[in-house]
Amino acid sequence: MSGIVIVGAQWGDEGKGKITDLLAERADAVIRFQGGNNAGHTIVRNGETWKLHLMPSGILYPGKTCVIGNGVVIDPKVLTDELDELRRREVDTSGLRISANAHMIMPYHMMLDDAGEARLGKLKIGTTRRGIGPAYADKASRIGIRVQDLLDEKILKKKIVAALEPKRLALRPYARDPRLDLQAITEEYLAYGRRLSEYIADTTSLVWEKLDKGDIVIFEGAQGALLDIDHGTYPFVTSSNPIAAAACIGSGVGPKDIDEVWGIAKAYSTRVGSGPFPTELHDDIGEDLRRRGGEFGTTTGRSRRIGWLDLVALKYAARLNSLTALVVTKLDVLSGLDTIKVCVRYRGEDGAEFDTFPYHQTVLHHATGDYVELPGWSEDISDARSEDELPENARAYLRYMEEAIGVPIVLISVGPGREQTMWTEAGLATAPGQTVAAG
Ligand code: GDP
Ligand code: IMO
Ligand code: MG
């Protein structure tokens, strides 16, 4: 196996950072292929916490090739701050490579994100306000600024003028804002270009080279399948494709370069921002799971909405991504419940049943879950290190999940720490990092 894609199988924050870090030990490169600093990927190692927004989650291995691919949108201030912070903590970031074709998030993108949300009022998407949507919109409109443009003052200035022109009306409230001064933006971004120039590369060729040698390359997704702009709960989605297919586009490889697709799913569901969430809990159980799971956004600090495990959505994500394996995280958070509910189908307003994910927004907005109830367990499982140390009911819960989704569970996570992880039998048979994890 050479190309492994790691994707979120729910609404984001499934623990992609933790799992990517774990697998990266055996990989030769880790590449981010979409999204931007709307992502917040947490790694906890030896009690130390790392919150990454743009940096691929392989960066904690000294000198590991970590690529920010062409499909990512980059806020250079966030990236340089992240680099500074990593260096301050004595992390060797020399393996970082940034695609010259990746697009930049500009100051006006953040303003437009804010203005767009304000304009939508009650209908707002609940974006991270990082300028993600407007940056991807400019990319599609072919007036985006790319990393390579930061290396040439004349080109940069011309492109900023062209990008600002159609936005004049929308930016009128910011007319006197110093952040919109053409010369100031140009100088600021040229300075970022100088700072980042040592990392800028033809990352597509770099990834080809690694794959052609048979090196292991991890494609690290951000967000999750239900936030996909085409296949998620539009318009309450992000502005990129967090599904596995985008790993190819966002890095420049073909589908045949992908050997494995691992979906990361929590043992329950969460969502940040607006939009349909059929299994959402509005009671004490939800409150308790939020508290015990520390369900507050890594990027914005917002409370995450909590819900029961949603098998309708997960089966949809499994098919959309061609998942070859499933990783279940946060199983520890479910400890202490007498019974655990699992959503097996949706029910529409008129009582209609949906065994598969409904494409129609209206149906989805009114859908509620039909549940099976499984017996819970009371034990603290955060110290379990192998499946046979888990209570029988926890194992039965995982088996139920696995059979319903039809994808083998390879890895189970029972805490934020790197060591709070166990490989299943299926995982030990197939996983690239298994000898490391087992030892
Ligand atoms: P990502 O965006 O998919 O990388 O996920 P986030 O890092 O935003 O959110 C996952 C959160 O859960 C982080 O705070 C992790 O440290 C934490 N976490 C990951 N796996 C587990 C687990 O198995 N149990 C618990 N309790 N926390 C976990
Ligand atoms: P990671 O990679 C969870 C959500 C926002 C909002 C919607 C659109 O950490 O899993 P955007 O700023 O992208 O235009 O916001 O998408 N969202 C995420 N939710 N995890 C993320 O990333 C997210 N990135 C964006 O909350 O609902
Ligand atoms: Mg996150």
The per-residue pLDDT for range 127-159, each reduced to its tens digit, is 999 999 999 999 999 999 999 999 999 999 999
Quick one: the chain helix, strand, coil %, rounded to 5? Answer: 40, 20, 40
Q: Domain limits of the chain? A: 3-88+203-430, 103-197
Q: What is the mean pLDDT of the chain?
A: 96
pLDDT at 439: 31
Of 212-221, 265-274, 300-309, 425-434, which range is least confident? 425-434
Residue 438: CB atoms within 10 Å: 12
39 to 12, 144, 298: CA distances (angstroms) = 8, 21, 8
pLDDT at 175: 87
Both tokens of 386, joined, read 């192998």
Specify the residue for token string 């949906």. 354
Domains 3-88+203-430 and 103-197 share a fold: no
Neighbour-count burial for 399-413, b at 16+ CB within 10 Å, e otherwise: ebbbebbebbbbbbb
| Residues lining ligand 2, Cβ inside 6 A | 8, 12-13, 38-41, 125-128, 130, 132-133, 222-224, 227, 238-239, 272-273, 298
Q: Report, as an integer, the average pLDDT of 411-437.
A: 84
Residue 435: pLDDT band (50, 70, 90) is very low
Q: In a 3-state reduction of DSSP, which class is residue 373?
A: strand
The torsion angles phi and psi of 328, rounded to 5 degrees, stand at -105, 125
pLDDT surpassing 60 at residue 436:
no
Query: Would the CB of 232 count as within 6 Å of ligand 1?
Result: no
Specify the residue for token string 């690239």. 432
Pocket test for ligand 2, best of 50, 128, 226, 269 (most atoms within 8 A of CB): 128
Tell me the pairing of strands 309-310 and 48-52: unpaired
Q: Annotation-wise, does 38 bind a ligand?
A: yes
- Ligand number nearest CA of 42 is 1
Residue 419: CB atoms within 10 Å: 14
Q: Report, as an integer, the average pLDDT of 5-27.
A: 98
> CB of 328 within 8 A of CB of 321?
no
Residue 297: pLDDT band (50, 70, 90) is confident
pLDDT surpassing 70 at residue 107:
yes
Which residues face 67 on adjacent strands? 31, 97
Name the residue at shortest CA distance from atom 23 of ligand 2: 223
CATH of 103-197, one of 1.10.300.10, 3.40.190.10, 2.60.40.10, 2.40.128.520: 1.10.300.10
Q: Annotation-wise, does 299 bind a ligand?
A: yes
Q: Report, as an integer, the average pLDDT of 242-267.
A: 98
pLDDT at 433: 54
pLDDT surpassing 80 at residue 298:
no
pLDDT at 437: 40
> CB of 48 within 8 A of CB of 35?
no
Residue 11: pLDDT band (50, 70, 90) is very high
- Gap from CA of 237 to ligand 2 centroid (Å): 8
Residue 345: CB atoms within 10 Å: 16
pLDDT surpassing 80 at residue 85:
yes
Residues 3-88+203-430: name the CATH superfamily: Adenylosuccinate Synthetase, subunit A, domain 3 (3.90.170.10)
The DSSP secondary structure of 87-115, one letter per residue, reads: HHTT---TTEEEETTPEEP-HHHHHHHHH
Is 255 exposed, middle or buried (CB count within 10 Å of its CB: 0-12, 13-18, 19+)?
A: exposed
pLDDT tens track for 20-39: 999 999 999 999 999 999 99
Write down the pTM of the prediction.
Answer: 0.97
- Ligand number nearest CA of 38 is 2
